[in-house]
Structure 1
Amino acid sequence: MNKESVNKEFEARPETAPKAWHAGDLTAKARIRNATLSLFAQHGEDGTSMRAIAAAADVTVGLVVHHYGTKDGLREAVDTLIVELFATTLSSTPTTGAAREIVGLRDAAVEQMLRDNPAIVDYLRRALLTGPGYPGDVLSRLAALTADQVRALRGTGLASTDRSVTEQTVTTLVRQFGRLLLQPLVNRIVDEFGEPGQYAPELVVGVKSRE
């Protein structure tokens, strides 16, 4: 199954596609979390004040502190939201069929979820490129989620057992996050230097095992 077919098959399953988070018509606590995601994605954690978060969520600073305490609490809430969206996205895909098709559908589902949530893309880019990195951060939690998914697929025969869980986890994350980081560079080069009407090539990122 080629990528176009995979995308069409997933798009034909609208009842399974997770919806983007929305800032409107939510509880104050959810509005605060969503405002934090947007502002952290744009300006980074250090460049975002509690006052700015309160203003974006249309609440008082005191209510932000009441619900989340500190920026650490806000970051934890945002990280949890992102991990849950990834988990929901992956659980929405089929678990029967050819292994290659299952992998394609899962990648297409993640790609669609990220397209629906550009703030999450920007947030993850910041975490990957500028974050200090520590056990338990959003990237660590996404790696743990991916490893759990790999183990589940191995248990049902949909993932090979010829390679280690770690290697399969790395391959999956590099495949999913490589384009997230580098496709904008490809697009920019084509926009600035490409011929009129030229489309940016689609980046394909993978991992090659050491012999």
Structure 2
Amino acid sequence: MAEAGPRRRRALDDRDRTARARIRDAAIERFAAHGVAATNLKDIAADAGVSTPLVIHHFGSKEGLRAACDEYVASVIKEQKSTSMAATTGKSLDPFQAVREAYEGTPIMRYLAKTIVDGSAHVDELVDEMIENSLLYMDEGVKSGLLTPTENPRERAVVLFLWQMGALVLHEQVERLLGIDLIDDTAGSAIKWARINADILAKGVINEQLYEKWRDAMVAAEQQSDNPPKQAKARDQETT
């Protein structure tokens, strides 16, 4: 007998309620609640109201199902971020509407918090896809004037991704220290988190004049560490 499934939330895509979509949504729920390793196809099938052979027919295996979940979650996040960019640069008077509406009632955040740290090859694929997606919508933001241009768009995208995912993994500490629930987020939590991030990104932390001096020094130091002087190279070779 399959154990009771996690608390049901709204469908991740109410317009797509095929058997395949129901299985995918049930898997995301299970993976978010229990992790991939502790979840079996029988329980996912029971939650979706289908047979286990039908799950295998659609996805081949649990790994195939997990890959489909990763792909879907990445696409949902990409759509939300693009919508948020459009809402902020368009006529909307409420730039955080897309943020509030995107994940409310879904297990997306809990799914990421669970899967992003499991160390499998699928995680690398998911992270790479999400970073590539972020490069696209951040480029849209630069073109629209919402974001400032940078000489290193990929580095910026990676650091911001790690910043956000790191906070998600540490969601219990975020809630303890800031009173913000990044997992089962409410509208208030989403807006507060967006406000804090926007304040840091828009106003910065380091004094601008100090940053320019510090940046030049750091660039020079980085170049030197990448290309050590010939004497140092020779000395290192002698010691080896």
> TM-score normalized by structure 1?
0.66
What residue ranges of structure 1 are gaps of 5+ in the alignment? 1-18, 192-199
SS at match of 1:162: coil
Show the counterpart of 1:149: 137
Alignment of 1:18-29 (within 5 A): 21=12, 26-29=17-20
Q: Secondary structure at the match of 2:170?
A: helix
* Paired AA for residue 114 in structure 2: R
- Structure 2's unaligned 5+ residue stretches are 1-9, 180-188, 206-210, 216-240
User: How much has 1:36 moved relative to structure 2?
Assistant: 0.6
What CA distance in whole angstroms lies between the structure 1 residues aligned with 2:42 and 2:36?
Answer: 13
Shift of 1:62: 0.8
Does 2:175 correspond to 1:187?
A: yes
Aligned partner of 1:5 in structure 2 is none
Match of 1:76 in 2: 67
5 Å matches for 1:90-169?
90-93=81-84, 95=86, 105=95, 109-110=98-99, 112-117=101-106, 119-133=107-121, 137-169=125-157
Q: In 2, distance between residues paired with 1:94 and 1:41?
A: 27
- Ranked by relative contact order (alpha carbons within 8 Å, sequence separation 6 or more), the top structure is 1
CA distance in 1, matches of 2:141, 2:13: 32
Asked if the contact 2:113/2:168 (under 8 Å) is kept, the reply is: yes
Equivalence map 1:50-69=2 (5 Å): 50-69=41-60
TM-score of the superposed pair, with normalisation by structure 2: 0.59
Alignment partners' CA distance in 1, 2:45 and 2:88: 47
The Cα shift of 1:26 comes to 2.2
User: Quick one: structure 1 residues 23 and 37, their matched pair in 2 at CA, closer, same or farther if it must change by over 3 Å?
Assistant: farther
Deviations 1:60-110 (A, max 9, x none): 111111111111220122112212211221232354877xxx9x937x634
Distance 1:114 1:96 in 2: 16
Partner of 2:40: 49
% identity of equivalent residues: 26
